[in-house]
Structure 1
């Protein structure tokens, strides 16, 4: 059995590392002897990264420790493996990739990226992509960028294990709950739907808005009939099941155009119709699974259509059960990933 080394940016508690690498752990281990190596530890992911000014010194110490460990892993451990899978980066903000010696030894290098990290300062992802045998991109925008330095780019969406959602599938058309899931890093996008939801609720006071997150900032005060449901690993899937529809508003900027639409995929895994901004990959995911909306009027119209037109609502669910699951089901995506690693 071949050996696979998985180098992630975060531990399993970091969303991007979890959903692009750790989620496939069982599938990896069926096909490879597998070992994981993360750069940032749980303490950073759970606490430090949310208040970088307060923990600046501790983050600096963790960075130095992580960099030394990563150098040791790359030069003394990685050469013992047949395939190296790099999720998002080698050493954050470090210019050099340290991958040349692995290339010389014939080790297959696969680079995975799910955000427009090339827009960040001191990013070296182009260099990593150039040294890799294959680049896995979360959407077409990322693929177009990295194809400039590596022609072997493949799109694989960010997904979640569909089977975890199946026990919670249920009809919630009568509940009239609009839902959003996310973190403090993306919650500012809710600015786009404050007015639309408030105007909708003025006409339909039975509608409520649920925010699943580590914080709601001021949005529970600004949006009528809204409440914060604190995200937890054990409960977030069950809490999504309460939604009638899920939303993904996105401000139109370079970072958001590189997003992989993961919120939409979570709602759709629960067979909930969606409304989202037509930014980046959102439009291609939504298709017949919901409605795209730009202006305030479009958001209100989309809400009223999916919350009150039963035929349209269940038509979206039928589309989810056929087209969406064919492309985004966990088993289908994991099979493609294993094929890329083995190529």
Structure 2
């Protein structure tokens, strides 16, 4: 089997995603072409906040963009051609006409790369690229077209505008859908009976609890116990008021947040609370060094349509390091993690759970968490993924 991944996420950045990790795992056994997102006209003319987008623009201008071989069975295509910025168009039927043109432009580069590699047939895996890859099944005619549903993007205005009507249609015409949460799987089955839960994964070679991790310099000046969070500080996903309430009640603890802040976080009163500390985004490779020195890990999510059914990969990363975890009650946390994490809703419940986690942690619990996390290796996830393909296609390759 040959795979072509199209995604919202670039590969080889400072943070992995479901699609990048799955592609790298599959490339241990199968040929994989990973296609980075193309640059749109708006990003071309206006400087992006994303350094990887800016690097791609530089590579296009200097002729470095294109097809490269990243590993024995893994190729990466960085598209050279700009696609048009069309999400401003108010009417979805009109948007779709221009979107077809963007898809054709995108598809030509993918087709040329596939021919250069020697892919005679292939399976396309579309990771939430609702717009740019909407017509790739019709244009490229792959052996199978798989939709990877791993986040509720329709909770964001940009995607909801046209995606609320286009994503269900994309799901219906896909040959199968694979989902990283049980909630997403239930929703996908409304549109396509060939919908499968594959879970999420963690690179357990990076999140290695047996490695001796030196305490990062930023943490050395912070008083213990340290209650930590790693990930994007997005006010549509995390509850700023909840965080403030917990930190004020646990004034004897230090709260460390590692990741990029959105504008609401930057402007919030959290920066005036003396026991809250913010550290800039770190590369995945060194994140375990920070988690290893947390006493408790938290995920204080807002409860909304974006978070209620998502599968937070950070929970696996925390558990893989053996750390006690306190997280907001969501469907996934209840269905998958309730036996291995403390769950809470209010600030008072979080405070009580954190105090329990600090008081009751021991080596046995540490080992149980690590053992549980091994169920979520990318090897296991990729095997489930391949089995779903075989079930639909009856392909025993």
TM-score normalised per structure 1: 0.80
Q: Deviation of residue 338 (structure 1)?
A: 3.3
> Structure 2 regions of 5+ residues with no counterpart?
52-80, 86-101, 216-222
Check conservation: 1:39, 1:70, Cα contact below 8 A.
Answer: no
> Cα deviation per residue 1:204-259 (whole Å; 9 max; x = unaligned)?
x2x21111112362465243322122122142221122111111111111111132
Root mean square deviation of aligned Cα:
3.3
The verdict on how the C-alpha distance between 1:272 and 1:62 changes in structure 2, with shifts beyond 3 A counting, is farther
Q: 1: distance between equivalents of 2:24 and 2:302?
A: 36
1:304 and 2:371 matched: no
1:317 and 2:366 matched: yes
Q: 1: distance between equivalents of 2:309 and 2:271?
A: 30
1:64 and 2:84 matched: yes
TM-score normalised per structure 2: 0.70
Within 5 Å, which residues of 2 pair with 1:12-91? 12=11, 18-40=16-38, 48=48, 63-64=83-84, 67=103, 69-73=105-109, 80-91=120-131
Give the one of 374, 383, 388 matched to 1:340. 388
Check conservation: 2:9, 2:17, Cα contact below 8 A.
Answer: no
> Structure 1 regions of 5+ residues with no counterpart?
52-60
Within 5 Å, which residues of 2 pair with 1:226-237? 226-233=276-283, 234-237=285-288
1:132 and 2:170 matched: no
Please give the secondary structure, in 1, of the residue aligned with 2:345.
Answer: coil
Within 5 Å, which residues of 2 pair with 1:194-213? 194-201=244-251, 205=252, 207-213=253-259
Check conservation: 2:320, 2:370, Cα contact below 8 A.
Answer: no
Check conservation: 1:288, 1:316, Cα contact below 8 A.
Answer: no
Residue 144 (structure 1) aligns with: 186
> Cα deviation per residue 1:110-148 (whole Å; 9 max; x = unaligned)?
110111234422112222221222211121111111101
Q: 1: distance between equivalents of 2:179 and 2:380?
A: 16
Residue 75 (structure 2) aligns with: none
Q: Deviation of residue 74 (structure 1)?
A: 6.0
> Cα deviation per residue 1:274-301 (whole Å; 9 max; x = unaligned)?
1011123122333222210112221111
Check conservation: 1:19, 1:160, Cα contact below 8 A.
Answer: no
Q: Structure 1 or 2: larger helix share?
A: 1
